[in-house]
């Protein structure tokens, strides 16, 4: 029975790590620093995989408790409700952070797109100028 509580606590711990990672990256993105975006997404993927494994372990532990018809006492139920409430709060914060992260990345992509479009126009102008002036001697 204590195993499931430990797994809930461990899951919440890694959700906190996820929040910390997002918070750090939000600060970087807000200051225009997108240099480590690949490392950020790789780290997020590793944390998500770890959280998935913890969810699987929690599910197995729950099935064991259910199959053995183990009675869950009031204090344990209260602990589980508390930890599940924490999980929901953490997930809500992560969703809010993700929305902000996506928005910042999208804004940066738009800036890059406009910069590339401006460069392309500039190259066309230079190319046209060069071809127009190739036959003339200064």
- Tens digit of pLDDT for each residue in 4-17? 999 999 999 999 99
| Burial of 10 (C-beta count, 10 Å sphere; 0-12/13-18/19+) | middle
- Other beta carbons within 10 Å of 19: 15
Helix, strand counts (H, E) of the chain: 3, 0
Task: For residue 137, give both structure tokens.
Answer: 């001697």
pLDDT of residue 127: 75
Q: What angle do CA 58, 64, 67 make, to 5 degrees?
A: 140
The pLDDT assigned to 119 comes to 82
CA distance 128 to 124: 6
Element of type H or E holding 88: helix 74-133
User: Please, are residues 30 and 104 in contact by the beta-carbon 8 Å criterion?
Assistant: yes
Q: Report if pTM > 0.95.
A: no
Query: Which portions of the chain are predicted below pLDDT 50?
Result: none
Which residue has 């996506």 as its token pair? Answer: 102
- What does the pLDDT read at residue 135? 55
DSSP state of 43: H
Residue pair 105/29 in contact (Cβ under 8 Å)? The answer is: yes
């Amino acid at each position: 029975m204590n195993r499931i509580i430990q797994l809930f606590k461990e899951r919440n711990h890694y959700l906190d790590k996820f929040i910390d990672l997002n918070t750090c990256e939000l600060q970087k993105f807000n200051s225009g620093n997108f240099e480590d975006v690949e490392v950020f997404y790789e780290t997020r993927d590793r944390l998500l995989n770890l959280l998935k494994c913890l969810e699987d372990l929690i599910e197995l532990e729950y099935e064991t408790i259910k199959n053995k018809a183990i009675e869950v006492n009031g204090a344990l139920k209260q602990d589980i409700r508390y930890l599940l409430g924490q999980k929901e709060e953490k997930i809500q914060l992560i969703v809010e952070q993700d929305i902000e992260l996506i928005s910042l990345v999208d804004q940066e992509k738009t800036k890059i797109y406009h910069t590339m479009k401006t460069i392309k126009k500039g190259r066309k102008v230079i190319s046209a100028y060069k071809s127009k002036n190739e036959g003339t001697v200064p």
